[in-house]
């Protein structure tokens, strides 16, 4: 089983990202404050249904936006499964991250 795809929409500093991954190892590198940790946080959030960095939904939604979405696809020998997390602001019951499988 491996992570095949990551899509981010208004998550932290990403307006939009579509990232296809291969079965082999992937290395992320770049300068400070470019989004490497944010990308890893998004993957952790879909796997754990909570952020390892914050419990505040407002910190995960890109500044000025009402919501964020993270979609990942996990590939196994038999299937490809999609996991999606939506983070909404300004709605009393939806202020915390929610996950759909």
Predicted confidence (pLDDT) at residue 94 exceeds the cutoff of 80: no
pLDDT for position 90: 73
- CB-CB contact of 43 with 90 (8 Å): no
Using pLDDT thresholds of 50, 70 and 90, give the confidence band for residue 86.
very high
Q: Structural domain boundaries of the chain?
A: 2-100
Q: Which residues make Cβ contacts (< 8 Å) with residue 79, sequence separation at least 6?
A: none
pLDDT in tens, 58-78: 999 999 999 999 999 999 999
Please give the residue that has the higher pLDDT: either 20 or 98: 20
pLDDT in tens, 1-47: 999 999 999 999 999 999 999 999 999 999 999 999 999 999 999 99
d(Cα 1, Cα 47) in Å, to the nearest integer? 13
Topology classification of domain 2-100: Rossmann fold (3.40.50)
Predicted confidence (pLDDT) at residue 95 exceeds the cutoff of 90: no
pLDDT for position 51: 92
Q: What angle do CA 27, 31, 34 make, to 5 degrees?
A: 85
């Amino acid at each position: 089983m491996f992570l095949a795809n990551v899509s981010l929409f208004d998550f932290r500093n990403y307006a939009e990202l579509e990232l296809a991954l291969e079965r082999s190892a992937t290395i992320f590198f770049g300068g400070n404050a470019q989004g490497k940790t944010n990308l890893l946080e998004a993957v952790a959030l879909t796997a754990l249904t909570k952020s390892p960095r914050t419990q505040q939904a407002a910190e995960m939604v890109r500044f000025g936006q009402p919501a964020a979405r993270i979609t990942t696809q996990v590939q196994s020998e038999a299937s490809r499964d999609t996991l999606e997390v939506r983070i909404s602001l300004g709605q009393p019951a939806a202020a915390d991250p929610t996950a759909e499988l």
